[in-house]
Amino acid sequence: MSEVRSTCPYCGVGCGVILTPDGEGLSVRGDPDHPANRGRLCSKGSALAETVGAEGRLLAPRIGGHETDWDTALDRVADRFAATIAEHGPDSVAFYASGQMLTEDYYVANKFMKGFVGTANIDTNSRLCMASTVAGHKRAFGTDTVPGTYEDLDQADLVVLVGSNLAWCHPVLHQRVLAAKAARGTKIIVVDPRRTATCDGADLHLPLHIGSDVALFNALLREIAETGAFDPGYVDRVDGLEAALAAARTDSLEPTGLAPDLVDRFFRLWIGTDKVVTVFSQGVNQSSSGTDKVNAILNCHLATGRIGKPGQGPLSVTGQPNAMGGREVGGLSNTLACHLDIEVPAHRAAVAEFWDAPRLASAPGLKAVEMFRAVASGRIKALWIMHTNPAATLPEADAVRAAIAACDFTVVSDITADTDTARLADVLLPAAAWAEKDGTVTNSDRTISRQRAALAGPGRARPDWWHVAQVARRMGHKAAFDYDGPAEIFREHAALSGIAGGFGRDFDISALADLSDGAYADLAPTRWPVAAKRGGRFFADGRSFHADGRMRMVPVTWRAPAAKHEPRFPFRLNTGRVRDHWHTMTRTGRSARLSAHLAEPFVEIHPCDAARLGIAADTLVDLSAPTGRAILRATVTDAVQPGTLFAPMHWTGETAPSGRIDALVAGATDPVSGQPESKASVCAARPFAA
């Protein structure tokens, strides 16, 4: 086979790759023509070829741990779902999806649950990633619209990175920012409680206290007002300025703990630079005040009119390769396909008519944390989990694992049987992996790219859309799920987006609804809105997607993290990614090169705390929290602040205690977005005694 252009399956940068099949393997290099990376790859992308192959793969369906054929497994899933719905109603079943899924897979799963099962109990691990940004965008703009693009990073004079270790978590974007710094002297400010690798290339680091971002950006808004830095022409088109400013005036900088001279330099740079891009990521989103943090940032951009123009605007960067595609198909339990609203009757009616859906869900469903609590309580009796490992990665992971184990019926679609969650499944369905399946993904700047197959899937692995369509057909919905491949699904999704466009929604790719199979196969990276009604840019004209067309500033005030310190749990625990691993390492763990970077789970602890507790560098630390325990290797470093700890999220473990840090993360969530607070739990630390 000749070269195949595809997309990296890891982070939301969405780098283009060129795959060259070589027997049962392949070689991988960066695609010089892809607009996201222009040929660059990071360590994870460069090692993709080391992660393919049949070793460790789930090769056939299994029921109760025993291999079976597809028909038997699919019949079992369809029968159990149908029986559960018949006896307990549609809200007794749930689907937990993933930002690893391709848009076509995601679309079919949402259509199945929301349109044909009749429940919105379909949520996704993107709830842990981007839900606060979605909610913040909708409050400000009326839709979940990412205003910025990657080109803005090339054109900015100041890039502010908030809650983002871009150097490790989105390395190719970080390289792009550093290239802008070299080419045009772009200043870089990092706002992060930790001193991370991203700080190495920065002009200024603001080590604020965990969870205090709203206090910082409210202070910036006050300074914008006091220095007369408003854009009067723009704020004329924005509602809520006075209310947002009044709320900001009730806040103070005290929660940030920042030295006044650092804050002053930040203010002078931000206010004194027209071309400012504020990039934000999980440090903003994964918070019990995540939505308010997003709006505090958006407020400053709206007040100064710095949005939608070259080199200016807020830019959220997603963790996963297709968090954006999931948002487009309505992958969250409180959204509908194509950025339509599940709460709006006219939107529901249009989708029901388009799908010819017999029982479209009429209200939002359960969000991730509450979904697994409903599994624990027995409200959810049948559960389908696709390409994600909630038994290891959801907050209160021990309780989630116990809930899945006790669920009446659990289906897992995955590429391996060797995850904490797959081991609990009643039925396991073997999935095609990256480089074996076809579809599209959308990256953080709204660019839709193709993932293409270059290898045959091993054993009886099949693509995810096929798993869902086969079950739906067995449940009596043959016509609606009679797809012959991802191109047909893409066309349907694109056609539905035209209806959304008719309602004035932002997501409109209807110009692609008539793509032939060949044109779909050749589809080049394409940023939406495809029709480019607004020249491919949003909001420079001050028009929003609210019914009145006006933008909104949202009054917000600082709130402390939900988990309160108590004498037994004196540390604030921050979690995150390392450079060379991805999620629970089902793929990156196969590369010795990637595993060599950081070989085991660790906890960063400040030297003063380590000395006080008698914890020596490289010894084992016993961490405990109200919800669980973990044992990690000590990294003694002043990169973290006294009284705080940092631990990576990637390691799992069959038996507690292990490096499975989400066992310690509390299940507190943002009241607007439902996103859990993964970076501000409380815990205790002591030397490990075997």
Q: How many residues in the shown chain lie near ligand SF4 by CB under 6 A?
A: 14
Q: Please, what sign has the CA dihedral across residues 56, 61, 64, 68?
A: negative
How many other C-beta atoms lie within 10 A of the C-beta of residue 27?
12
CB closer to ligand SF4, 445 vs 609? 445
Contact call for residues 391 and 400 (beta carbons, < 8 A): yes
Measured over all CA atoms, what is the biggest interatomic distance in the chain, rounded to whole angstroms? 70
Stretch that binds ligand SF4, among 38-46, 221-229, 295-303, 387-395 (CB under 6 A): 38-46
With left for phi above 0 and alpha for psi between -120 and 50, is residue 162 left, alpha or beta?
Answer: beta
- When the beta carbons of 10 and 571 are compared against ligand SF4, the nearer one is 10
Tokens of 45: 């992308």
Question: Measured from the CB of residue 100, what is the shortest distance to ligand SF4 in angstroms?
Answer: 12
Closer CB to ligand SF4, 17 or 429, in the complex: 17
Question: Is residue 14 close enough to count as binding ligand SF4 by CB under 6 A?
Answer: yes
489 binding ligand SF4? (CB under 6 A): no
172 binds ligand SF4 (CB under 6 A): yes
8 contacts ligand SF4 (rule: CB under 6 A):
yes
Strand partners, 382: 93, 409
Assess 170 for contact with ligand SF4 (CB under 6 A): yes
Region from 13-21, 340-348, 349-357, 374-382 binding ligand SF4, contact rule CB under 6 A: 13-21
Task: Determine if 499 is a binding residue for ligand SF4 (CB under 6 A).
Answer: no
Q: How far is the CB of 153 from ligand SF4 (least distance, A)?
A: 13
- Distance from C-alpha of 146 to C-alpha of 280, rounded to nearest angstrom: 12
**Cβ 196 vs Cβ 639: under 8 Å:** yes
Of 582, 576, 581, 677, nearest to 627 by C-alpha is 677
Interaction with ligand SF4 in 523-542: which residues (CB under 6 A)?
Answer: none
Q: Kindly indicate which of the ranges 168-176, 294-302, 303-311, 601-609 contains the residues binding ligand SF4, using the contact rule CB under 6 A.
A: 168-176
Which CB, 92 or 447, lies closer to ligand SF4?
Answer: 447
β-pairing verdict for 620-625 and 187-191: unpaired
Distance separating alpha carbons of residues 620 and 62, to the nearest angstrom: 38
Q: Return the amino acid letter for 236.
A: D
Beta bridge partners of 383: 94, 410
Member of 35, 45, 395, 463 binding ligand SF4 (CB under 6 A): 45
Q: Closest CB to ligand SF4 belongs to which residue?
A: 45
The binder of ligand SF4 chosen from 4, 5, 6, 15 (CB under 6 A):
15
Per DSSP, the residues of 643-670 read TEEEEES----SSSSBS-GGGSS---B-
The nearer residue to ligand SF4, 312 or 322, going by C-beta atoms, is: 322
| Element (DSSP H or E) covering residue 326 | helix 323-328
CB 661 within 8 A of CB 575: yes
- Binds ligand SF4 by CB under 6 A, chosen from 4, 6, 11, 555: 11
**Shortest spacing between CB 7 and ligand SF4, in angstroms:** 7
Q: Among 171, 313, 364, 601, which residue sits at the site for ligand SF4 (rule: CB under 6 A)? A: 171
18 touches ligand SF4 by CB under 6 A: no
Instruction: Provide, rounded to whole angstroms, the least separation between the CB of residue 8 and ligand SF4.
Output: 3
DSSP string, 223-261: HHHHTT---HHHHTTEE-HHHHHHHHHT--SGGG---HH
Nearer to ligand SF4, 36 or 680 (CB): 36
**Can residue 178 be called a binding residue for ligand SF4 (CB under 6 A)?**
no
What residues from 243 to 272 belong to the interface with ligand SF4 (CB under 6 A)? none
Tokens found for residue 470: 């086969």
Q: Please give the order of strands across the beta sheet that includes 526-527.
A: 439-442, 447-451, 526-527
Q: Site for ligand SF4 (CB under 6 A): which residue of 4, 18, 28, 41?
A: 41
Question: Contact residues for ligand SF4 (CB under 6 A)?
Answer: 8, 10-11, 13-15, 37, 41-42, 44-45, 170-172
